């Protein structure tokens, strides 16, 4: 695992996430959201889970980000900027971050290096999905169908 690559990816991802959380311009924030997710996919590649990283790019950047920008377009009556920023939220977020970091640094058993692991091939993921995890797979399929139908019904124009 390359240290320099990790630092660069971490800086890019966190900067993009911060931009997505704080920029007043809606479109810029949505686009930095997409960049943050590409960064997270890069983390997954570093950790050896390439399939999940590619699925993340495909689903989030290819579909969810497009959904978000379409929704921003469709719900745009005010000037397109998000006025107002609640500083209480920043304090809570900082407190949560402080608490989590303190807990992580306190636990000595987590200060370990990565053991050598065989590359996780897609074949192993596929076998696991079809043998051990076949029920969750079917339930997720059902959930996605329900979400699809629900989202469609929610946005259908009401018949007058």
Partner 1 sequence: MTPTLQVFLIVSAAMFSIGLLAALSRRHAIFILIGIEMMLAAANLNFIAFWRFGPQHQPPIGVMIALFSIAIAAAEAAVGLAMVIAVYRHYHTTNVDQLDQLRG
Partner 2 sequence: MSVLERKILARMQNRYGPNRVGPFGLFQPIADGIKMLIKEDIVPARADKIVHFLAPVLIAAAAILALGIIPYGRNMTPFTIDGGVLFFFAVGSTTELAVFMAGWGSNNKFSMLGAMRAIAQMISYELPLIITVLPVVMVVSSLTPDRIVAAQAGYTFGLVPRWFVFTPWGAAAFVLFFVSGLVESNRTPFDVPEGESEIVAGHMTEYSGFKYATFFLAEYIGMFAISGLSVTLFLGGWHAPGRAVDFLPSYVWFFTKLSALLFVYIWVRGTLPRTRIDQIMNFAWKFMLPMAFACIIAAAVWHYAGRGLRGWLWSLLVITTVYTMLSVVLDMGRKFAPRVYRFAE
Cα–Cα nearest to 16, from 40, 36, 31: 36
- In angstroms, the Cα distances linking 93 to 18, 104, 138 are 12, 16, 36
Q: Is 61 in the site for partner 2 (CB under 8 A)?
A: yes
Residues 86-115 that bind partner 1 (CB under 8 A): 86-90, 92-94, 96-97, 100-101, 104-105, 110-115
62 contacts 38 by C-beta, under 8 angstroms: no
Q: Is 61 in the site for partner 1 (CB under 8 A)?
A: no
Smallest gap from residue 6 Cβ to partner 2 (A) = 19
**Distance (Å, whole) CA 44 – CA 30:** 22
Select the binding partner of residue 8 from partner 2, partner 1, none (C-beta < 5 to 8 A, by kind). none
Q: Is 12 in the site for partner 2 (CB under 8 A)?
A: no
Which position among 5, 7, 63, 92 is part of the footprint of partner 2 (CB under 8 A)?
63
Cα–Cα nearest to 80, from 32, 23, 33: 23
Residues 13-52 that bind partner 2 (CB under 8 A): 27-28, 31, 34, 50-51
DSSP state of 81: B
Smallest gap from residue 4 Cβ to partner 1 (A) = 8
- Residue 17, number of CB atoms within 10 A of its CB: 17
Which residues, listed in sequence order, are joined to residue 81 by a DSSP beta bridge?
Answer: 25
* Interacting residues with partner 2 (CB under 8 A): 27-28, 31, 34, 50-51, 54-55, 57-58, 61-63, 65-66, 69-70, 73, 119, 121-123
């Amino acid at each position: 695992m390359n240290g320099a690559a990790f630092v660069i990816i971490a800086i890019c991802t966190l900067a993009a996430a911060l931009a997505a959380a704080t920029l007043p311009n809606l479109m810029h924030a949505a686009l930095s959201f997409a960049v943050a997710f590409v960064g997270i996919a890069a983390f997954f590649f570093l950790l050896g889970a390439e399939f999940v990283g590619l699925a993340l790019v495909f689903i989030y950047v290819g579909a969810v980000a497009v959904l978000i920008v379409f929704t921003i377009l469709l719900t745009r009556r005010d000037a397109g900027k998000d006025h107002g920023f609640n500083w209480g939220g920043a304090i809570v977020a900082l407190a949560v971050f402080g608490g989590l970091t303190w807990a992580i640094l306190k636990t000595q058993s987590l200060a370990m290096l990565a053991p050598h692991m065989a590359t996780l091939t897609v074949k192993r993921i596929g076998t696991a999905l079809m043998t051990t995890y076949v029920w969750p797979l079917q339930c997720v399929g059902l959930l996605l169908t329900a979400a699809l139908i629900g989202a469609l019904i929610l946005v259908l124009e009401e018949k007058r």
